[in-house]
Amino acid sequence: MEKHSNIYSNFYLTVKRLFDIAASLFALLITLPLTLVVSLCIYLDDRGPIFYTQERIGKDGKPFRIYKFRSMCQNADAKKKELTEQNEVNGAMFKMSNDPRVTRVGCFIRRHSIDELPQLINVLLGNMTVVGPRPPLPEEVDQYSQHDKERLKVKPGCTGLWQVSGRNSLDFDEMVELDIDYIEHACLLLDMKICFKTVWIMIYPNEAY
């Protein structure tokens, strides 16, 4: 893959931001009926909050609040400590293929990545972009090596290269390398390819958890 420097150029960043605004507004509009149905299902499932917010680390290590549809039980963060030893991913991430905290509705919306639709609000606010590295948790960043911190040079994204290159079958080191590879080769064409692949994966999911 040819190496580009567009990720740091004013032209690329300007066009990318314009695309972020247009794409997120369009996506939020056309998915409004789906949003209403999902919101109702989440509420009826356990009468809990519809949305879930969490602190993540963005560009240059700056924290922000990320928005998602709630896909887990209401005390999921407290239960996470009990499941640490069952982590299936190496490095500074936590993943379980059969996480007991995931609700019935959550299982479906996570499989189709519907739980991440509210992140488009983060895109509009400017603390995320449509395509970029995964936004890490503060405790994950605390475990980062200097090499891993390369991921923090750009805005985190709703989707990215590793999400369309194996999803959760990848380990942490592979995810980091794909994110850094994206940063080094970012261009509008690559962004478009990742967006189209993301839509395909949402319709025909594979190994999403």
What's the rounded mean pLDDT across residues 134-140? 92
Confidence tier at 146 by pLDDT (50, 70, 90): very high
Of 13, 20, 10, 3, the C-alpha closest to 126 is: 20
Confidence of residue 162 (pLDDT cuts 50, 70, 90): confident
pLDDT above 70 for 1 = no
Radius of gyration over alpha carbons of the chain, in Å? 17
Residue 16's pLDDT band (cuts 50, 70, 90): very high
State the helix-helix crossing angle for 32-46 and 10-30, rounded to 10 degrees. 60
pTM comes to 0.86
Helix residue spans in the chain (DSSP H): 10-30, 32-46, 76-80, 104-111, 119-125, 138-141, 172-185, 188-203
Angle between helices 188-203 and 172-185 (to 10 degrees): 140
* 3-class SS shares of the chain: helix, strand, coil, % to 5: 55, 10, 35
